[in-house]
Structure 1
Amino acid sequence: MNVLFLTLSSMESVSERGIYTDLVRELAYRGVHMYVVTPREKRKNLPTELVREDYIYLLKVKTGNITKTNLIEKGLSTLSIERQYLQAIQEHFGNIEFDLVMYSTPPITFEKVVRYFKGHHQSKTYLLLKDIFPQNAVDIELMQKGGLMWRYFRNKEKKLYELSDHIGCMSPANVDYIARYNNIDKKKLEIFPNCIDPINRIVRKTKHSHLLEKYQIPQHSTLFIYGGNLGKPQGINFLLEVAAHFDAGHLIIVGSGTEYEKVRAALKVLNNPNVTLLPYLPKEEYDQLLQITDVGLIFLDNRFTIPNFPSRVLSYMEYSLPILAATDRQTDLKDVLIESNSGFWCESGDLESFMMYAARLAMNKRLREEMGGNGRLYLEQHYDVRKAADILLKHLLAGVR
């Protein structure tokens, strides 16, 4: 069986850990020939390259810059990707018949590539729906509903849904949203959660770490960590409000994104000694940091009307960290935290509730350990990559009917 996987997630090696690389390796382990197409951004100054690792063929396509850049360059680069991907696939995989074409959002602009293989190869198609665009851009006022740009991307979105034989949604709320606002056969929709290949359970290390010394983080505080994108979807203004008042322990913010400089400049003015900002870290070092922190944080803008489900949750659960999430009301992440008893939720903007929960977690080590353990168990039961592979193989073996 041959599967083509299109993604905007950058992969230099399939041995990296993540929701897509873990899935690719698991499918390859089960005998599926995986052909992965991933961007290699212009800033790397490297050519398009094909690498083979056992059953996995990794095609790194030279593209424009789509991350860590301004919105105009990101938009133009994203619009060019369809043509760049299709040309590279035809050149390097031109003699391959694909049983399944699998693709993730963002972006929604793979429509022409998907249509090509559906028409010429009769390939079955599976969409991994990781965000709902352009509505998410409308929610945080990056795009005007009804405008020219909105109409273009909304048309692309509808075509992609129409072309997809199956649409895997991250959560029940995502399934409900897509069914409610799109004319889609509900039989297409199913829950396909973010999944990883969990590392073995670890014994929590002591705080005496070279990382704490390296970044001048106090060893004897309760350590709260936010790791991930620092962009408009995260509701940066509330994150900064939290940073201004944070005194429950020590807050570590790790990441990059369009709002990083805004965060850096604001924290310099606030000068709160209980907050440390770190730029993007290599995953190995970031994982080492997760081993010695105490609480994982999630931030999302409260204006969202779409039910986001941040993949960052999985990292926290993997390292048995309790979670404190401040998000919009639409996400069913809050339901997962309640069901699993793995953390607390409040609406983004509710500073009083956030600080109350932070204080509870800071003062009660037993509560942190209990919630962290519950989260790890929930991860193993619901978000193990083997479950995701089972879903795809079921469709592959059934001809994706």
Structure 2
Amino acid sequence: MKLVLIADTFPPLRTSGAVQLRDLSREFVRKGHELTVLLPSSDLEQPWALEDFGGVRVLRLRAPKTKDIDYVRRTIGEFLMPYAMLRNLRKSPLANERWDGVVWYAPSIFFGPIANALKKAGACKGYLIIRDIFPEWAVDMGLMGRGLPYRFFRAVANYQYSVADVIGIQTAGNSVYFDHWIQKPGRKLEVLQNWLADAPVGQCTIDLAKTSLAGRRVLVYAGNMGVAQGMDVLLDLAEQLKTRSDIGFLFVGRGSDAQKLAADAKARGLDNVLFHDEIDPDEIPGLYAQCDVGLVALHPKHKTHNIPGKFLTYVQSGLPVLAKINEGNDLVGMIRKERVGAVATDDSLEALVRAAEALIDQCGGDDTLPGRCRGLYQRLFAPEKAVEQIVGALDGGVPEN
């Protein structure tokens, strides 16, 4: 099929979303499909820039800045983004292109207008990949009430949903947010698992043997450190275990809370904790080969369901997972059913400490644990499964809506 993918993150960015879309794009090409990726870019001086990315056509389109700015300017920029992308697409060599299917990735919730325009031009179906439920999670976190801003974002999200013929959600638990949407004929809601391409173990700029964590069993967190993660509890855990000279904690990445967390660890005198800036995604397997347990944290106020990308990277590398997440999250059942780690869901620090120590002990005595982790990855999270599912949903002719 001739497909177009719309997103706001892609290499050279190192976000988990960029890595996911890189792997998805490569798999589309490997399966013989013709893929074009459309991306907004605030750095372009000209209206567009066309690149080749391993057989994928990548068209960057000039659009307002939406990253690393205050919320008001970001909202305005994201609202204008799809219209700027459309305008500059029409100035590009791909202005008259027509596709057999339109795929777009949320976040952002603002791609509805450009997805709709491309669907109509190609008389084709649209597949919306949703990786978080915004603005609902922001309300759960107390970052937003249900006033005017919420109603605005909710209207934008609902319009984006209305454009889609098929919506792929992360877990079955998120289906409750689409009870109204699914009632219209011709629409399909399905679980589209996160995905991650297999990667060989290579060199890593972080050599734990040369750090203060040498010789310890290392619990690693690699990824964004922001409000949604609620990571203070992981420092509390490290503080409770600082007398265990055989256990260490490594935090790798960036985010709004990264500097605050590092400063907090220093203020507490946690010599069992090490912070490091983000590394290239290709170095992650080499990093995990030096570690023993992967850490997942989600703020306890979360009510939406989430299978974080970092969870995939852990099990792909054979690392069991210690998760501090919200009660009822679908990830809880997955970890317990597949026996790939330990979960704490209440506010008790003592329960998290017990889970951590039990999992560390299990790592030393259960030789089948890494194999179970790898097996779960291969069964559910390989990118070829995502591509087959998306293509199968789009390969059905003209949409009804």
TM-score (norm: length of structure 2)? 0.89
Residue in 1 that maps onto 2:21: 20
Contiguous gaps of at least 5 residues in structure 2: none
Q: How far, CA to CA, are the matches of 1:161 and 1:377 in structure 2? A: 34
Residue in 2 that maps onto 1:89: 89
Q: How far, CA to CA, are the matches of 2:77 and 2:324 in structure 1? A: 32
Amino acid at match of 1:388: A
Secondary structure in 1 aligned to 2:90? helix
Deviation at 1:183, TM superposition (A): 5.8
Instruction: Give the 4+ runs in structure 1 shifted more than 6 A.
Output: 44-47
1:226 aligns with 2:221: yes
Contact 1:301–1:348 (8 Å) recurs in 2: no
Change (3 A) 1:172 1:65: same
Contact 1:133–1:157 (8 Å) recurs in 2: yes
Q: How far, CA to CA, are the matches of 1:90 and 1:276 in structure 2? A: 49
Give the CA RMSD over aligned residues. Answer: 2.8
Q: How far, CA to CA, are the matches of 1:366 and 1:400 in structure 2? A: 56
Q: How far, CA to CA, are the matches of 1:84 and 1:325 in structure 2? A: 40
Q: How far, CA to CA, are the matches of 2:316 and 2:132 in structure 1? A: 23
* 1:150-169 correspondence to structure 2 within 5 Å: 150-169=150-169
* 1:188-267 correspondence to structure 2 within 5 Å: 188-199=188-199, 211-213=207-209, 216-247=211-242, 248=244, 249-267=247-265
Q: How far, CA to CA, are the matches of 2:67 and 2:366 in structure 1? A: 35
Amino acid at match of 2:232: N
Residue in 2 that maps onto 1:111: 112
Q: How far, CA to CA, are the matches of 2:63 and 2:311 in structure 1? A: 29
Among all aligned residue pairs of Structure 1 and Structure 2, give the percentage whose two residues are the same amino acid.
24
Deviation at 1:400, TM superposition (A): 7.0
Deviation at 1:77, TM superposition (A): 3.1
Q: How far, CA to CA, are the matches of 2:2 and 2:385 in structure 1? A: 20
Contact 1:5–1:34 (8 Å) recurs in 2: yes
Q: How far, CA to CA, are the matches of 1:251 and 1:319 in structure 2? A: 18
TM-score (norm: length of structure 1)? 0.89
Residue in 2 that maps onto 1:381: 379
* 1:3-18 correspondence to structure 2 within 5 Å: 3-12=3-12, 18=19
Contact 1:223–1:295 (8 Å) recurs in 2: yes
Q: How far, CA to CA, are the matches of 2:381 and 2:319 in structure 1? A: 16
Residue in 1 that maps onto 2:311: 313
Deviation at 1:161, TM superposition (A): 1.2
Residue in 1 that maps onto 2:49: 49
Note the alpha carbon deviations across 1:322-343, whole angstroms, 9 max, x for none: 0011011232011111121111
Deviation at 1:83, TM superposition (A): 2.2
**Which range is displaced more, 385-394 or 296-305?**
385-394
Deviation at 1:219, TM superposition (A): 1.8
Residue in 1 that maps onto 2:133: 132
Q: How far, CA to CA, are the matches of 1:299 and 1:210 in structure 2? A: 22
Q: How far, CA to CA, are the matches of 1:209 and 1:178 in structure 2? A: 42
Residue in 1 that maps onto 2:293: 295
Q: How far, CA to CA, are the matches of 1:385 and 1:373 in structure 2? A: 19
Q: How far, CA to CA, are the matches of 1:138 and 1:169 in structure 2? A: 19
The number of aligned residues is 392
Match of 2:353 among 355, 380, 397: 355
Change (3 A) 1:226 1:185: farther
Q: How far, CA to CA, are the matches of 2:237 and 2:224 in structure 1? A: 17
Change (3 A) 1:223 1:345: same
Deviation at 1:76, TM superposition (A): 3.5
Residue in 2 that maps onto 1:272: 270
1:148 aligns with 2:148: yes
Q: How far, CA to CA, are the matches of 1:377 and 1:288 in structure 2? A: 19
Note the alpha carbon deviations across 1:200-230, whole angstroms, 9 max, x for none: 6x69x9xx9961255x232211000011111
Deviation at 1:73, TM superposition (A): 4.2
Change (3 A) 1:209 1:170: closer
Change (3 A) 1:382 1:3: same
Q: How far, CA to CA, are the matches of 2:137 and 2:252 in structure 1? A: 23
